[in-house]
Amino acid sequence: MSRGGGKGPSLKDKLDGNELDLSLCDLNEVPVRELAALPKATILDLSCNNLISLPSDFCSLMHLVKLDLSKNRLQQLPLDFGRLVNLQHLDLLNNRLVTLPVSFAQLKNLKWLDLKDNPLDPVLAKVAGDCLDEKQCKQAAVKVLQHMKAIQSEQDRQRQRKLQAEREMEKKREAEQRAKEAQERELRKREKAEEKERRRREYDAQKAAKQEMEKKTKKENVQTRKPASSSRPTQPPRHRHSWSRSVLRVLLLVLLCVLCTLAACKLTELQRQPLCVSVNTLYEDVVAALQNHKTLQNMLQQNSQQ
């Protein structure tokens, strides 16, 4: 293995049982692929190197039980560091760590932890305490796990609250959208009704204009025909003609009665009755008087012609 994390045939040579010592190798990166090929190496020592960070695939080395990363320049651990669920012993002495990833709470088998000489967050530093002996390092592991679990729970609650708020916001947006759609439907309905009413008024106006035009045209036609009809003789009203005919019928009936009376008085045995004598005398006087009247002659002539 060459410096800087390159491949080298000496990696297996450093394996002693289940212990692999890569300390003081001036490593700038971890040879994860080579380490993954050595699942027997459950104890890994990477102390006293130049490691600034760990690659994300480092957390695939789930066979690790004991890990020494002390005296490097690590500024943070991978976010999924909690995948190393078999880890029991972790040494992070003298690095540049400020916080730990929340997934650290998943290291349920961790029994020993050293975080001394790191610029830790004051709360985390107080929880971790000093790791001056075996007992303190074991207590540090327990307390830090509890602290990280509390942080994880709080983050879960915050995430749930955020999710709930997002759901409520989404419901609110959906309600607003439904209200907006309902308002738009009502607006379209009102506009449609107004358009229908406008078209109806236009139709009524057109119909009225058409009727007015027909009326005007009819009036003009009547006025046009009026001069031609003015030369014609004025016909008497129909009701006057009907009244005249009725009077004529009455006169004819009276005349018929008179003629029948005259005929009875002249041709029958009733002529000697006083009434008939008077009627005959009156008839003779009237006939004698009318014979001398020109008007009667004209009427008789017209009647004879008819």
List the CATH number of the domain containing 74: 3.80.10.10
221 found inside a domain:
no
Task: Provide the β-strand partners of residue 16.
Answer: 19
What is the average pLDDT value for the chain, to the nearest integer?
A: 85
List pLDDT tens digits, range 35-74.
999 999 999 999 999 999 999 899 999 999 999 999 999 9
Q: How far apart are CA 277 and CA 305, in angstroms?
A: 33
Question: What is the spatial distance between Cα 116 and Cα 222, in angstroms, rounded to a whole number?
Answer: 121
Share of the chain above pLDDT 90, in %: 54
Q: Is 285 contained in some domain?
A: yes
Contact call for residues 40 and 20 (beta carbons, < 8 A) = no
Q: Which domain holds residue 261?
A: 249-303
Unique residue bearing structure tokens 């050293």: 114
Residue that terminates a domain, selected from 102, 126, 155: 155
Domain termination site, one of 155, 172, 203: 155
CA distance 45 to 15: 11
Could you tell me if 253 and 149 lie in one domain? Answer: no
Closest C-alpha among 56, 2, 54 to residue 26: 2
Q: What is the mean pLDDT of residues 231-248?
A: 64
In a domain, 266, yes or no: yes
**Is the pLDDT at 232 greater than 70, yes or no?**
no
In a domain, 129, yes or no: yes
- 244 in any annotated domain: no
Q: What is the pLDDT of residues 273-291, one digit of tens each?
A: 777 777 778 777 776 766 6
**151 and 261: one domain?**
no
Is 194 within a domain? no
Domain count for the chain:
2
Last residue of a domain, one of 111, 136, 155: 155
The whole-number pLDDT of residue 239 equals 57
Q: Model's pTM, two decimal places?
A: 0.56
